[in-house]
Chains A and B, each alone.
Chain A
Amino acid sequence: MRLLVVEDDPDLRRLVAEVLLEAEYAVDIAADGDEGLLKAQAWEYDAIVLDLMLPKRDGWSFIDVLRRTKATPVLILSARDGLSDRVQGLDLGADDYLTKPFERLELIARVRALIRRAAGQASAVQSIGDITLNLRSRLASRGEEMLDLTAREFALLEYLATHRGRVVSRTELYDHLFDETDDSLSNLLDVHVSNLRKKLGRDVIQTRRGQGYVIPE
């Protein structure tokens, strides 16, 4: 899952990105409203964490413009805690609102819930056959047996499971699993898929030649 953090304060921007990175998200950053909007329109982010008081283009304008083309979930993270600020943000199309100072775990939980809701999944636990995926603890198991997945493997499995039944292209997977600073080669994807198949069994993830991968419903 790939996120965009738009925050003008340098320390806070780095910090929010680190917190989300350690929660195993790929994270892009932007320091002002214009840069943020450019990235948000160019990429398919799974969610955007947005400050309101931004240079060049404030958060309200950001949401307003973004919503004309994209439905990317937006979590407002702002020091402004007035009711009118929340209402205006949510009315414009933001999906959630968190005030600074916030608790680290609450930020992670809200981002997770936002992505799940956007994909139409209400539960943090998903099942694929006898495999169970706990998105909160980020652990996978088959029956009682825990599966030993790397963070990237889990993220790949999570994305395919969240969009179960849909053929996900290699480009889309790449966009959502790696951030802009990641210089991994794209054939790394095949390595991850192959490793996952070894751990889960051959048929869980299917290949559609020339189209991508899918976990059938």
Chain B
Amino acid sequence: MRRAIYNEAESDLLGAAQLIAKDSSEANPGTVTIDRAYRHRFGPAPRDHAYFAIWSAQGAIVGASDPLPPHISRPIDLPPVDGPRPFSTREHKDELEVIIRGPNATQILVGRPLAKEGDRLRALLRNLLAAGGVVLAIGAFAAWRLANRIVRPIEQLTVAAEQISATRLDQRLELPLASSEIQRLVEVFNRMLSHLQSSFEQQVRFTADASHELRTPVTVILTQADHTLSRPRSNGEYAEALEACLRAARRMKRLVDDLLLLARADAGRLDAPHESCDLAEVARSTLEMLEPLARERDVRIESQLQPTFIEGDAAQLSQVVANLVTNAIDHSAAASQVFVSVYSRRQRAYLVVADAGEGVPVEYQPRLFERFYQGDKSRSRQLGQGAGLGLSIVAEIVSLHHGTVDLSSTPARGTTLTVELPLRAVETPVPTPKAD
């Protein structure tokens, strides 16, 4: 850059020198007169002030600008006449001087300070710096914006996430201005919150239902004892009171057992079934236990049990049979029948419990396996039945045995529950599980 400016100044001076040489040759050779215009051209402003000097062949100054800078002296070497550069240059401080040969072996020197070029260079530098600064500023701003786009939403996300607690799980994150990546993150986060909220609500409802179910037997025991002790009673009255307390305590025990089983299943701490057992034998011994209940309700249990060996826990499977059959008895009219069958088909074991009761209305069916769900509360409660945990326990145990439960029900015709379990891989006769 500097070189180009220098060259430009050089050719400028060279042109002036050649003009002077031409003028002086056309005029009177030997004596050189300088046109006023040139003097003027070389300018009055001190920092641009150009100057020239003409030396004769003898070395005397024959013409010069006025004033002439004091340092000017006659060049020692004659500049070349031909070649690519038929002149010579020299620099003195800030001044650049061009020397050419004039007519009659005169030497013509034209010089001027390079102030203008210095200005241009400085201006250039200034411009460069300014441009650089602007570019830098723009870059910084862009970087700041970009960082903001990324960091700010994350900060908002953090703040919002911190405000969400167990008691405020219904809140969702909202970031309408965020980039698509952040939006996706927000969506994933909100979906996770929804899951969390629903399982949390389920937990809360479960606890509320459990405590609600426990309150009635507790009330019976408390009030019965308080009432009976409020004045002296006959032996018969004491016996009745104790029986009522016993019934309530049994109900609590069953509820607590059920809750414990479900809690273990939730925690994944139910023992995985490993023993080989005959589902038919489990069903037979369980039905024996249920016979008194069936008689009391005037319901007959019909069973068809084929030896069917599966991998399982006999006690848990017995509970499955008991819950299903008790349910069936509860929903049967007097003098009706409950059918229980166990058989194997295509490497699967089946336990089928069918009643001829009033059936389950379609709208209740999807929720039947929910905990504490009681489609028609009147029936179960009036018969002193469970709290609505029976079928959810069946579902838990069956799924632990890698099986499925299927319900089919026709209103006024009856309900059939089918448990399907994997058959034991190799059917080997094993000692029948003890009936307890």
Q: Which chain A residues have a beta carbon within 8 Å of chain B's beta carbons?
A: 8-12, 14-16, 18-19, 22, 31-32, 53, 55-56, 79-80, 82, 99-104
Contacts and interface: CB of A to CB of B under 8 A. Distances in A.
B230 A104 contact: yes
B209 to A, nearest CB: 10
B378 A16 contact: no
Nearest to A31: B382
A31 B377 CA distance: 12
A118 B218 CA distance: 31
Given A12-B223, A15-B220, 20 more contacts: A9-B216, A10-B382, A11-B224, A11-B244, A12-B216, A12-B219, A12-B220, A15-B223, A15-B244, A18-B227, A22-B227, A22-B230, A55-B379, A79-B215, A100-B219, A101-B215, A102-B219, A103-B226, A104-B223, A104-B226
Contacts of B215: 79, 99-101
B376 to A, nearest CB: 7
Interface in B125-142: none
Given A9-B216, A79-B215, A101 B382 contact: no
Interface string B362-387: 00000000000000111101101000
Nearest to A58: B377
Contacts of A15: 220, 223-224, 227, 244
A100 B244 contact: no
A111 to B, nearest CB: 14
Contacts of B223: 12, 15-16, 19, 101-102, 104
Contacts of B377: 8, 53, 55
A100 B212 CA distance: 9
B222 interface: yes
A143 to B, nearest CB: 29
B381 A9 contact: yes
A91 to B, nearest CB: 21
Where chain B touches its partner, the secondary structure class is: helix
Contacts of A22: 227, 230-231
29 contacts: A8-B377, A8-B378, A9-B381, A10-B384, A11-B220, A11-B244, A11-B248, A12-B216, A12-B219, A12-B220, A14-B244, A15-B223, A15-B244, A19-B227, A22-B230, A22-B231, A31-B382, A32-B378, A32-B382, A55-B376, A55-B377, A55-B381, A55-B382, A56-B378, A79-B212, A79-B219, A100-B215, A101-B218, A104-B223
A20 to B, nearest CB: 10
Chain B interface residue number, banded? 20 to 34
Interface in B171-220: 208, 212, 215-216, 218-220
Nearest to A103: B226
B247 interface: yes
Interface string B90-131: 000000000000000000000000000000000000000000
A85 to B, nearest CB: 10
Contacts of A8: 377-378, 381-382
Give the 8 A-B CB pairs with smallest separation, nearest first: A55-B378, A79-B215, A101-B219, A100-B219, A104-B226, A100-B215, A11-B220, A101-B218
Contacts of B227: 15, 18-19, 22, 104
Contacts of B231: 22
A102 B220 CA distance: 10
A82 B218 CA distance: 18
Contacts of A9: 216, 220, 381
A82 B215 CA distance: 13
B384 A79 contact: no
Contacts of B220: 9, 11-12, 15
Contacts of A101: 215, 218-219, 222-223
Contacts of B378: 8, 32, 55-56
Nearest to A18: B227
Given A10-B384, A56-B378, A100 B226 contact: no
Nearest to B247: A11
A80 B208 CA distance: 9
Contacts of A55: 376-379, 381-382
B253 to A, nearest CB: 15
A62 to B, nearest CB: 14
Contacts of B222: 101
A76 to B, nearest CB: 14
